[in-house]
Chains A and B, each alone.
Chain A
């Protein structure tokens, strides 16, 4: 039998892990918000998306959150006219990534909040375990 408080700590740790992966994807999207193609008329950086999954963990006997897959956003690229750009096509249009900084910022905040919530979960269950152990001590 696994201690439920330890299980909740494991679940929260999985949450932290997943949110840090999410932050990595957001950082990648933000950093590449202006990354165009190397060749004229080529496709620029495509915004990456992260999909979470709920999978069963044998060791803990509970469902944990995990990263299902890292996909690509199929939405159209932003097109700007800039004939002097090396990545401009024959008409002088440059394709820019389909990354919206504001959306990424909102995503980042959400990820941050979720991380904090999981951290709080971990702290709380840890203090509950410690409180229980302390019952042995106070004599």
Chain B
């Protein structure tokens, strides 16, 4: 599921809606020298992806009696938290994007 989310979120950062040499565009270019917001989102999404993968691995290990119940619960809960954070941020980003697209020109 996150495989689709990952390019989508980083896509939001790279698809600058305002093209051309406007003031908004130049301001984006200035901030890009530091850490890009899109990069931050992409990093966050890949972190979430790693946590989910780890939770999956621990769950499988738990089924085959190689991990304790506590370990399984802990990793699944960590994954759930990361996923919830990613979802909340995604919703916020999407709503901000929609807000911009609804802007009266």
Q: Which residues of A contact B91 (CB under 8 A)?
A: 136-137
Q: How large is the interface on A (under 10, 10 to 19, 20 to 34, 35 or more residues)?
A: 10 to 19
Q: Which residues of A contact B95 (CB under 8 A)?
A: 139
> With contacts A20-B68, A129-B81 known, is A137 near B74, CB below 8 A?
no
Q: Does B6 contact A (CB under 8 A)?
A: no
Q: Is the interface of B mostly helix, strand, loop or mixed?
A: helix
Which residue of B74, B78, B81 contacts A130 across the interface (Cβ within 8 Å)? Answer: B81
Q: Which residues of B contact A92 (CB under 8 A)?
A: none
**Stretch from B14-22, B24-32, B82-90 that touches the partner:** B82-90
- Please determine whether B78 and A6 come into contact, CB atoms closer than 8 angstroms: yes
- CB-CB nearest in chain B for A13: B74
Q: Does A16 contact B (CB under 8 A)?
A: yes
Q: Which residues of B contact A66 (CB under 8 A)?
A: none
- Please determine whether A13 and B70 come into contact, CB atoms closer than 8 angstroms: yes
- Please determine whether A10 and B74 come into contact, CB atoms closer than 8 angstroms: yes
- Please determine whether A9 and B77 come into contact, CB atoms closer than 8 angstroms: yes
Q: Give Cα A73–Cα B30 distance, bound, in whole angstroms.
A: 69
Q: Does A106 contact B (CB under 8 A)?
A: no
Identify the A interface with B (CB < 8 A).
Answer: 6, 9-10, 13, 16-17, 20, 122, 126, 129-130, 133-134, 136-137, 139
